[in-house]
Structure 1
């Protein structure tokens, strides 16, 4: 039996299907960039000095490592009807597979065009793989991989973050 044959049909349909396409709620702005750089003491002049940014990158950009920042929902927003979660596909898999616990087993990011001030980004989540049930030290569970692909308002690819997760159920005590 292949790893996916024992999966519910709804989960099988998720594999390779873009889901949760969404746009940033506001244009990329320098305040977030400066707060993030200050928090980690990143003094790179490309992020602080407009003249340096113009000379090196052709204008002001955000640090590439901020890619996921732009899609972390605020805990509250006017008109929101339900809890807002980043990486919703991961939480869907936990529910559909009845695996209430999870840990990130790995994360990788690949960057394309720089994210520039004023950009409006679009992201989508794609389940790339779901492994077979496996007994781990944490409990019985499955590994899955989700790509989060991001483009700018021009349709240019700015990056992909790949999340390798382990969803599991703790052993009965």
Structure 2
């Protein structure tokens, strides 16, 4: 197995740089919220009762836990070419570092302004760090951290998903 040493310059250059800035493909709608809440039997009146939403949040909002839902690409959409992947930067790092396997070892979400029906969101991805080579029980590779930051059409920060990833090669058997 080839030793993983220095981080290639083209990968180092990605650290701290905004990548894959894109806008949601449709305005946020409550139909997705109702389906999501129904799937887990979330009866919170904040999401189901417009009067409660108005009283508590100044109008309807979406559950904060749905933040990443708004950027999960559909398998197909008109005009799209190639495979549609969420967290594209993660897949780029796997390819650029020649690490065919990867896991999300942890994630954390910070929330800002609530997402409301009709919002059009913009997201971008930033590689925060890439570790030195590490060996774990699953294999030899590197950890990397990616932030996915989301704003609304008013430029307000609505949240950031942070993913701790481990790309690796399995031990040879």
TM above 0.5: yes
C-alpha displacement of 1:86 = 0.1
What SS is found at the alignment partner of 1:34? Answer: helix
Matched ranges for 1:11-160 at <5 A: 11-160=11-160
The whole-number CA distance in structure 1 between the counterparts of 2:80 and 2:158 is 28
The whole-number CA distance in structure 1 between the counterparts of 2:102 and 2:172 is 16
Which residue does 1:10 correspond to in 2?
A: 10
The whole-number CA distance in structure 2 between the counterparts of 1:111 and 1:81 is 32
C-alpha displacement of 1:171 = 1.2
> Where do 4+ consecutive residues of structure 1 move more than 6 Å?
none
Paired residues in the alignment total 169
RMSD: 0.8
The whole-number CA distance in structure 2 between the counterparts of 1:38 and 1:165 is 31
Specify every segment of 5 or more residues in structure 2 that has no aligned partner in the other structure, as ranges: none
Which residue does 2:171 correspond to in 1?
A: 171
The whole-number CA distance in structure 1 between the counterparts of 2:69 and 2:117 is 14
The one-character-per-residue Cα deviations of 1:64-92 (angstroms, maximum 9, x if unpaired) are 01000000000011122100100000000
What SS is found at the alignment partner of 1:104? Answer: strand
Q: If the length of structure 2 is used for normalisation, what is the TM-score?
A: 0.96
Specify every segment of 5 or more residues in structure 1 that has no aligned partner in the other structure, as ranges: none
The one-character-per-residue Cα deviations of 1:130-163 (angstroms, maximum 9, x if unpaired) are 0011111111010100000000000000000100
The whole-number CA distance in structure 2 between the counterparts of 1:54 and 1:85 is 35
The one-character-per-residue Cα deviations of 1:29-50 (angstroms, maximum 9, x if unpaired) are 0000001101111110000000
The one-character-per-residue Cα deviations of 1:93-120 (angstroms, maximum 9, x if unpaired) are 0000000001111000000000001000
What SS is found at the alignment partner of 1:14? Answer: coil
The whole-number CA distance in structure 1 between the counterparts of 2:157 and 2:135 is 37
